Amino acid sequence: MWLTIIREFFSDLGKQKLRSSLTLIAIAWGTLSVVLLLAFGRGLGTALMEGMLGAGNQVIMIYGGQTSIAYEGHPEGRYIRFTEEDVRMIERAVPGIAYSSPQYGRGGVRLQTDLTTTTTYMEGVNPDFEIMRTMYPAAGGRFINQRDVDEMRRVLFLGDEIAERLFGEEDPVGKEVKLDNMPFTVIGVMVPKMQTSMNYGPDANRAVIPYSTFRNIYSHRNVGSILVRPSDAALQQDIISGVRSLMASKYRFHPDDEQAMPMWDFIEMEEMNQKIATGLEIFLFTVGFFTLMIAGVGVANIMFVIVKERTREIGIKLAVGARKIHIIVQFMLESLFISILGGFIGLAISTGIVQGVLAMNMTEGPGEFLGKPEISVLAVTVTITVLVLIGFIAGIFPALKASRVDPVESLRYE
Q: Over the stretch 111-146, which tens digit does the pLDDT of each residue have?
A: 999 889 999 999 999 999 999 988 999 999 999 999
Among residues 232, 266, 300, which one ends one of the domains? 266
Determine the structural domain holding residue 17 and report its residue range.
2-53+270-410
pLDDT band at 310 (very low <50, low <70, confident <90, very high): low
pLDDT band at 48 (very low <50, low <70, confident <90, very high): confident
Q: Is the pLDDT of residue 414 over 60?
A: no
Distance CA 7, CA 238 (A): 68
Q: Is residue 135 domain-shared with residue 216, that is, in the same domain?
A: yes
Total domains, the chain: 2
Q: Is residue 114 domain-shared with residue 186, that is, in the same domain?
A: yes
Pairing of strands 182-189, 263-265: unpaired
* pLDDT value at residue 382: 80
Q: Is residue 234 domain-shared with residue 114, that is, in the same domain?
A: yes
Amino acid at 161: E
Among residues 201, 234, 266, which one ends one of the domains? 266
* pLDDT value at residue 119: 93
Q: Is residue 100 domain-shared with residue 236, that is, in the same domain?
A: yes
Class of residue 219 by CB neighbours under 10 A (exposed 0-12, middle 13-18, buried 19+): exposed
Higher pLDDT, 209 or 301: 209
Q: Is residue 190 domain-shared with residue 83, that is, in the same domain?
A: yes
What are the percentages of helix, strand and coil residues in the chain, rounded to 5?
55, 15, 25
pLDDT band at 392 (very low <50, low <70, confident <90, very high): confident
- Mean pLDDT value across residues 224-235: 91
* Per-chain mean pLDDT for the chain: 83
Q: Is residue 158 domain-shared with residue 101, that is, in the same domain?
A: yes
- Mean pLDDT value across residues 34-41: 84
Q: Is the pLDDT of residue 193 over 60?
A: yes
Q: Is residue 402 domain-shared with residue 361, that is, in the same domain?
A: yes
Q: Is residue 67 domain-shared with residue 35, that is, in the same domain?
A: no
pLDDT band at 314 (very low <50, low <70, confident <90, very high): low
pLDDT band at 83 (very low <50, low <70, confident <90, very high): very high
Distance CA 328, CA 322 (A): 11
Higher pLDDT, 98 or 333: 98
Q: Which residues pair with 62 in a beta bridge?
A: 226, 263
Q: Is residue 128 domain-shared with residue 145, that is, in the same domain?
A: yes
Q: Is residue 290 domain-shared with residue 161, that is, in the same domain?
A: no
CB contact at 8 A, 299 and 394: yes
Q: Is residue 49 domain-shared with residue 67, that is, in the same domain?
A: no
366-383: per-residue pLDDT in tens? Answer: 555 566 788 878 778 888
* pLDDT value at residue 362: 64
Among residues 210, 243, 266, which one ends one of the domains? 266
Higher pLDDT, 68 or 288: 68
Q: Is residue 244 domain-shared with residue 317, that is, in the same domain?
A: no
* pLDDT value at residue 268: 78
CB contact at 8 A, 281 and 370: no
